[in-house]
Amino acid sequence: MKAATKFIHAGAHPDPSTGAIMTPVYQTSTYVQEAPGVNKGFEYARSQNPTRKALEEALAVIENGKFGLAFSSGVAATDAVIKLLAPGDEVVCANDMYGGTYRLFTKVFERFGIVFKYVDTTDVKNVAAAVTEKTKLVWLETPTNPLMNVTDIAAVAAITRSKNILLAVDNTFASPALQNPLDLGADIVMHSVTKYLGGHSDVIQGALIMNDADLREKLYFIQKSCGAVPGPMDCFLVLRGIKTLGVRMKAHCENGARIAHWLRNHPKVGKVYWPGFEDHPGYAVAKKQMKGFGGMISFELKNDSVEEAKRVLSSTHLFSLAESLGGVESLINHPASMTHASIPREERIKNGLSDSLIRLSVGIEDADDLIEDLAKAIG
């Protein structure tokens, strides 16, 4: 089945009692049992919910996986993966990543004795060099947030498989429409479903997708035991969002390409970070493992002025100044003070994230209108 068809039909089964084509919102906390321990597959809504079950099936299908698990947020999904580990275990991860992930790793899990090693994963030799006998997990983002670095998932998977190490990939920026890490050897795919999968800036949710049944049982145990599950209405909204993922991502990619090239030719714009440029260091890898280059772009002004960057950030009208990404509407963001403020400044600067960096989530509006908006703001 082709991807466009999967997005429409994944997890969708007509309601057996009414024939409703959309999965109902099962707004219930518990389920009546015929006798103690005898039920219809549902006992308590933290453990199971029919709307969530339909979504989890859909998540698995669109990522070419066997099992999906939905969580209350992307961070909650990441939290569940790290809870597979024990004190003393080591995690190798990218030195450019979402600030909330970095905060979770450094401020929460380091206190429990888990060691995180941050390396430039765009060179797989750095990953191999960081792995020890204590390494139990490699955590990747590709493309990364916000510098759009690209890592060869298959090359890293070759390292992790040979050493029996789990490989988890945050696939939020690409979405299943553009990249499928399980096909490239990853063990776990994580999504901030809030972003492209939901697609309409109206839900907070996360997801994990995997192929291994034993791994699924371990993660499901964490899901039901720790309780970071989404409500049925949120699951319904994401099921609806997934149906338009294919057409939305096509528009995001087309608009992203237009704006990335326009920015690069603007006399006041300096470096533009977008993996679709042929001279991007990760272009060849991105072209190999992605079906498109997406609508996420970061850039710096040529004068590298923080004050001027803040003026631009506050001067757009169609690009709304806000955290998050992946919705149908365009957003503009200042990573240093917003999404990545939890990363110490010295770490941000060392990894190439300047105080003047501007991040765009290019929506699906008319590209000419978006370019006009940016042109007026940049001046």
pTM for this model (two decimals): 0.96
Active-site position among 195, 216, 248, 348 = 195
The domains located in the chain, with CATH, are: 3-243 (3.40.640.10), 245-378 (3.90.1150.10)
Q: How far apart are CA 129 and CA 138, in angstroms?
A: 12
Nearest-10 crossing angle of helices 50-62, 232-243: 30
Count Cβ neighbours within 10 Å for each residue of 349-374 and write b for 16 or more, e otherwise: eebebbbbbbbbbbbbbebeebbebb
CA-CA distance, 223 to 160, in Å (whole number)? 25
CB 245 within 8 A of CB 86: no
The predicted-structure confidence for 295-344, as pLDDT tens digits, reads as follows 999 999 999 889 999 999 999 999 999 999 999 999 999 998 887 888 88
- 87 contact partners, CB below 8 Å, separation of at least 6: 112, 113, 114
Catalytic hit among 170, 187, 234, 373: 170
Specify whether 31 is catalytic: no
**From 52, 79, 98, 102, the catalytic residue:** 98
Per-residue pLDDT tens over the stretch 187-233: 999 999 999 999 999 999 999 999 999 999 999 999 999 999 999 99
Q: Which stretch of DSSP H or E encloses residue 264?
A: helix 245-264
User: Residue-wise pLDDT tens for the chain (379 aa)?
Assistant: 899 999 999 988 888 889 999 999 999 999 999 999 888 889 999 999 999 999 999 999 999 999 999 999 999 999 999 999 999 999 999 999 999 999 999 999 999 999 999 999 999 999 999 999 999 999 999 999 999 999 999 999 999 999 999 999 999 999 999 999 999 999 999 999 999 999 999 999 999 999 999 999 999 999 999 999 999 999 999 999 999 999 999 999 999 999 999 999 999 999 999 999 999 999 999 999 999 999 999 999 999 889 999 999 999 999 999 999 999 999 999 998 887 888 888 888 888 888 999 999 999 999 999 999 999 999 9
- Tell me if residue 195 is catalytic: yes
Beta strands across the sheet bearing 166-170 = 67-71, 206-210, 188-192, 166-170, 135-141, 90-94, 115-119
Q: What residues contact 24, with CB distance under 8 A and at least 6 apart?
A: 15, 50, 51
Q: Which residue's entry shows tokens 């990939």?
A: 169
Q: Quick check: helix, strand or coil at residue 324? A: coil
DSSP single-letter state for residue 198: T
- Of 31, 46, 89, 271, which one is the catalytic site residue? 46
Q: Burial, 298: exposed, middle or buried (Cβ in 10 Å; 0-12, 13-18, 19+)?
A: buried
The pLDDT of residue 343 is 84
